Amino acid sequence: MKDFISLHDLTQEEIKGLLTVAIKLKAELKNGKEHPMLKGKSLGMIFTKSSTRTRVSFEVGMTQLGGYPLFLSSDDIQLGRGESIYDTAKVLSRYLDGIMIRTYAHQDVLDLAEYADVPVINALTDLLHPCQVLADLMTAQEYKGKLEGLKLAYIGDGNNMAHSLMYGCAKVGMDCAVATPAAYCCDTEVVENAKEDFKNAGSELIITEDPAKAIADADVVYTDTWVSMGQEKEKEERLKTFMPYQVNKELFAKAKEDAIFMHCLPAYRGFEVTDDVIDGVQSVIFDEAENRLHAQKAVMAMLMA
């Protein structure tokens, strides 16, 4: 494992290994045990999109591992003025021990990883958000005591979260049901890749336009914003189409009685989810957000230690 770009690239053992390390690092932190596994190492963090959780959890995580994080806004570095990804990758590799990037085009991350001589971590592209899903799997495991055999229902936009959740569920033997409007379905190539992973794992992938069908018997109910970063101009159109996909009390009641509710955040209450669900007792959103810290520390430790 040189880079962390897509859960589809990882084996089940690698994902389980990362979860084990994440759980261990979390316990150590809670017990006040230091783990300076990346002492003297530096992580560059390139952001061409906004972030609260990702930026803070990577910065704090790197610091807790004894390393040094550098926030690199694309507005401030030459990449944002047209310097090539190739030159950026080569130069940054001379200073840093790892590069984390959040950007629009997934291909830019693949190119960065190809040219960089140090590990590259995908901190969200228009296509995928693997760091989030690693934290989500960790959270589901903490609440349910296992992953294999659970059913996750994702209701909403066929976006980066839907894609990474499909990949993640398949790798750990979970069933996954994705309900999106036809016009906002998942990427065809991702679905084809995921189907193969589900077949290999012996678990099930359901793709539907019907939220009730997807949510039936779900252990984990997941949604995300209907308007992702970069789609602001489509907002009005999207809000109209997505209303039947709102995760409200009525829809949530169709999941298993003890289902947990998850959301990567930021959430838009009253749109993709109602207050009674996201602020209800079955919502685990803040544990999920916290686990970003622990899961990403595991990724950094595995790639950079």
Among residue numbers 69 through 128, which ones bind ligand NVA (CB under 6 A)? 124
Tokens of 89: 């990758």
Known active-site residue 294: no
d(CA 296, CA 143): 19
Tell me how far, at minimum, the Cβ of 221 lies from ligand CP, in Å.
Answer: 17
User: Judged by CB under 6 A, does residue 203 bind ligand NVA?
Assistant: no
Question: Nearer to ligand NVA by C-beta: 160 or 283?
Answer: 160
94 is catalytic: no
Give the residues lining the site for ligand CP (CB under 6 A). 51-54, 124, 132, 264-266
Radius of gyration of the chain from its Cα atoms, rounded to whole angstroms: 19
Q: For residue 243, what are the contacts with CB-CB under 8 A and spacing of at least 6?
A: none
Segment contacting ligand NVA by CB under 6 A, of 144-152, 171-179, 185-193, 225-233: 225-233
Distance (Å, whole) CA 192 – CA 272: 26
What DSSP character marks residue 170?
Answer: H
Which listed residue (55, 102, 106, 163) is catalytic?
102
Decide whether 48 or 228 has the Cβ nearer to ligand NVA.
228
SS3 of 190-233: the string is: HHHHHHHHHHHHCCCEEEECCHHHHHCCCCEEEECCCCCCCCHH
- The one-character DSSP state at 154 is E
Q: Cα(10)–Cα(3) distance, rounded to whole angstroms?
A: 10
Catalytic (active site) residue 136: no
Q: How far apart are CA 260 and CA 140, in angstroms?
A: 8
224 annotated active-site:
yes
Please give the residue whose beta carbon sits closest to ligand CP in the complex: 54
Q: Which residue lies nearer to ligand CP by CB, 116 or 289?
A: 289
- Out of ligand CP, ligand NVA, none, what residue 161 binds, judged by CB under 5 to 8 A for its kind, is ligand NVA
**Active-site residue, selected from the candidate residues 8, 263, 292, 294:** 292
Verify whether residue 292 is a known catalytic residue: yes
Give the integer Cα–Cα distance in Å for 286 and 139: 10
Concerning whether 132 is annotated as a catalytic residue, the answer is yes
Q: Which of 122, 203, 228, 246 binds ligand NVA (CB under 6 A)?
A: 228
Report the interface residues with ligand NVA, using CB under 6 A.
Answer: 124, 159-161, 224-225, 228-229, 264
